[in-house]
Structures are given as C-alpha cells and as structure tokens.
Homo-oligomer: A and B are copies of this chain.
C-alpha cells in the first residue's frame, strides 16, 4: 500500500531543483559575441545591441519559469498526497518545462523567423497545459486535496487555467505568422499579467 504514494517533500525538492536549474541554464545559451578587434568599444557595442532579441527572449523565459514555480508552489501546497498518476502528470510538466531553454535559444537566434517564434509559443503552451491537466486530475480526485473545494470552484480553476495558459500561448504562436512583434508582446504580457498583484483569485493559473 505504501507503494502507491510518493514522498511529497522529495517530489517538491526534485521539482524545485529542476526549476532552479532551468532558470539558471537559460543564460548558458547566450554566448559571448565574437568580434574582430578586441579593443573596439564600437564593435563590441554593436555586437551586444544585435543580441537584444536574445536578452529579451531570455527575460521572457526567466519570468515564465518563475510563474511556473509559483503555480507549482500554489498547487502543491494544497495537495496532501502524491499518487502515481499525479507524479507522472508532474513529470509531464517538468518534461515541457525542462525543454524551455531550447525554444528560448531558437527564438533568440531567429527572432525574425515566424516558425521560431511559433515553436516557442507551442512548447510553452504544452507546459501551461501541464498545469491544466494537473488541475483536471485534482478536480476528479478531490480527496488528494488538503482542504476540499466545491466542484464549481475547481471547475472554474480548470477553465481559467486553460484560458489564461495554453490558449494565450496559442494566440501568441498564431500571431507570429502575422507579426513577430505582436507575438513577443503577448509572450511578455502573459507572465507580467501574473506578476501584477490583484485583489482576488491571484495566481490561480
């Protein structure tokens, strides 16, 4: 019987470790630019300015991983025990999250290529969808929760987590084919929306 559940603290520690590493690895994809004249301030300056898309895509991903951590924290503090299915739903979330450095670097390198921007949105939508799947599972298994919520509240949570998560990223990904700038703005506004403090239902995605 004891075999059916996982130590919540070890799953949290493992997940926290993964998020901490993702957030820190992101910067490894930003390579020092190569310039001809090592002493030239102008050349280095131009090289750094041309790297702005990389810095911007790094910033977006940093904020998004912070939001993922916050959401993870919010969900797991309400869970009393982790069964086998919840463990693998969490692993699915970590799977897409740990892939984030790749689309981040891709978008940083090809900031004017709609496909690169679209791929970024799709991967991040999968990570956001990971949270929706976890919330759907909690709704179906409310006994796992520490404090039981009404089915209506949980249903609302699942819906909001879907609309303000994957759906927004899909809109951003679709916008890439019309205007990369619009995509960038949407990708940037998604984490900012969650960071700005609100009166109620804060950070429920």
Q: Which residue of B lies closest to A44 (CB)?
A: B115
The answer to whether residues A69 and B116 also contact, given A7-B77, A84-B202, A102-B27 and a CB cut-off of 8 A, is no
A5 CB to closest chain B CB (Å) equals 10
In the complex the two chains form, is B41's CB within 8 Å of A115's CB?
yes
Across the interface, A110 reaches (CB within 8 A) one of B24, B30, B44, B203, namely B44
In the complex the two chains form, is A195's CB within 8 Å of B88's CB?
yes
Place the interface of chain A in its size category: 35 or more
A22 CB to closest chain B CB (Å) equals 6
| Interface residue stretch chosen among A13-21, A132-140, A182-190 | A13-21
In the complex the two chains form, is B28's CB within 8 Å of A73's CB?
no
Q: How far is the CA of A4 from the CA of B203 in the complex (A)?
A: 10
Q: Mark A22-50, 1 if CB is under 8 A from B, else 0.
A: 11111111101001001111001100100
In the complex the two chains form, is A44's CB within 8 Å of B113's CB?
yes
A131 CB to closest chain B CB (Å) equals 16
**Residue among A24, A105, A109, A115 facing the most chain B CB atoms (10 A cut-off):** A24
In the complex the two chains form, is B44's CB within 8 Å of A7's CB?
no
Q: How far is the CA of A39 from the CA of B21 in the complex (A)?
A: 31
Q: Is A70 an interface residue (CB 8 A)?
A: yes
A: which residues have CB within 8 A of B?
A: 2-4, 6-7, 10, 12-14, 16-30, 32, 35, 38-41, 44-45, 48, 58-59, 62, 66, 69-70, 73-74, 77, 84-85, 87-88, 91, 94-95, 98-99, 101-102, 105-106, 109-110, 112-116, 119, 195, 197, 202-203
6 smallest A-B Cβ distances: which pairs?
A: A17-B20, A21-B24, A41-B115, A32-B105, A44-B115, A18-B20
